[in-house]
Amino acid sequence: MDWPKAIIFDVDGTLAETEEWHRQAFNAAFAAHRLDWHWDRALYRELLKVTGGKERIRHFAGPEAGGINVAAIHAMKNALYRKHIAEGPVELREGVRELIDFARGQDIRLAVATTTSRGNLTSLLDRAFGGSEWFETLVCGEDVRAKKPDPEAYTLALERMGLAAQDCLAVEDSRSGLEAAAAAGIACLLSPSDYCEVADTSAAWRVVGAFSDLPSARLLARETGEREICPY
Ligand code: XBP
Ligand code: MG
């Protein structure tokens, strides 16, 4: 079978439904900073269109952002988030573990391209996989000038792995992630997460409700006639 040479995973919403944990941590950090802000689920769904936690806070604050210590609030949010990851109930999305085990069994290389902070990512990988060794490169929010939907996270992952876009598969859950992968020329397996509805999925190679909808081999398998959008 003709597998991709590498699978590049998004993190938030893809490996796990992490956004609810981010949301709760944002709200706790706002309260600790005596801000009268509360991001409910509907609002957070909208705010997720802005990628990156600091960018999201600045966007919400609008003209008031200058009077707010965005870095301190964001640092507290991340500390609370990581405490949850280390100590709370944490589960991968259904099918993710199977997909990763399958890929490792086929010697498919693994990488991460995320807009989240490196510490958030390594906490999750430590908790879920006992470390990050299975992923040969981790491209995080700190590594790029422009976050998704900009393709930079993906192009940097390709550069670090020495692979061409057509050798790889991106796994994503959101519109901004899909746009980033597509702009980098990488075929995208899309499974929208709880917080992300994707109205236009036409740029995706394959769309599934859950990664467990198909056995891993079929999630990755190309069908005849798919060469244009899925060249591997
Ligand atoms: C989704 C995001 C992230 C998180 C928060 O990232 O937009 O910004 O919401 O992360 P992904 P930080 O690309 O993994 O789906 O607060 O660390 O920025
Ligand atoms: Mg995501």
Domains, the chain, ranges and CATH?
A: 6-17+92-220 (3.40.50.1000), 19-87 (1.10.150.240)
Q: List, for residues 93-149, the tens digit of each pLDDT value.
A: 999 999 999 999 999 999 999 999 999 999 999 999 999 999 999 999 999 999 999
Q: Is the CB of 12 under 6 A from ligand 1?
A: yes
Minimum-distance ligand 1 atom for the alpha carbon of 74? 16
pLDDT of residue 2: 83
Q: Is the CB of 13 under 6 A from ligand 1?
A: yes
Rg (CA), the chain: 17
pLDDT of residue 224: 77
pLDDT of residue 226: 76
Q: Coil, helix or strand for 209?
A: coil
pLDDT of residue 222: 86
Residues in the chain with pLDDT values less than 70: none
| Burial call 118-142: b when 16+ CB within 10 Å, e when fewer | bbbbbbbbebbeeebeebebbbbbe
Give the pairing of strands 6-9 and 109-113: parallel
pLDDT of residue 191: 98
Q: List, for residues 34-43, the tens digit of each pLDDT value.
A: 999 999 999 9
Distance from Cα 19 to the centre of ligand 1, integer Å: 8
Alpha carbon distance 177, 183 (integer Å): 10
